[in-house]
Amino acid sequence: MDLYTFSFLCAIGLVVALQVPSTLADVEAEGSGEATVLTTSSEQSEIVNKHNTLRRDVQPTASNMLKMSWNSEAAANAQRWANTCSMKHSPASSREISTSGCGENLYMSSYKNTWGNAIQSWYDEVKDWRYGVGSINGGVVGHFTQLIWYRSNQIGCAMSYCPNSKYKYFYVCHYCPPGNYQYTNPYKSGPSCGDCPNACDDKLCSK
């Protein structure tokens, strides 16, 4: 991460945060100067696949890690918030889908970046994290723990171009149900898929 790119995370309700695009499908100009940058189906696959790759390879291995899938309702909420170009977290009421509330990861950049790089930047907080301990040196780890939270199996992401802001690109991902419950490990350690309630798909629990 450089001086021109940074990110944040939060969760909602009873959830307590541990710390607080390639191809463009369409661009819709907004009155305040921002532009909606809609995710393509290939970007949606990139987002889901990147998350699942990182989730299946956590260390120690996870016995109950759920496989992620795309949620259009969460993506619509994320897009509405990205369109505000507010560069801050959305209110809890804006991160609700029909089945649950959702956590939120934000990424801001002065240049257009890939979703894979944005997601990797959240995961890279692993260097400051240890299973069963949390942050080992006071470093930010909340983006990482939300990304690998075992129960957060639905995701929707969006990005907006914000020419009037210092950081021109505002990326938003909503994770449902939310993670980052205080004093709780993000997953149960053990043999991959050892505690799946149903089926197993390449080290991830599937429904």
pLDDT tens digits, residue range 39-83?
Answer: 899 999 999 999 999 999 999 999 999 999 999 999 999 999 999
The whole-model pTM stands at 0.84
What the block records as the tokens of 6 is: 């940074």
pLDDT tens digits, residue range 130-183?
Answer: 999 999 999 999 999 999 999 999 999 999 999 999 999 999 999 999 999 999
- Average pLDDT, rounded, for the chain: 86
SS3 for 128-161 is HEECCCEECCCCCCHHHHHHCCCCCCEEEEEEEE
Q: Where are the domains of the chain?
A: 5-206
- Distance between CA atoms of residues 137 and 150, nearest Å: 24
Domain 5-206 has CATH 3.40.1380.10: no
- pLDDT of 17 > 60? The answer is no
pLDDT at 4: 34
pLDDT band at 37 (very low <50, low <70, confident <90, very high): confident
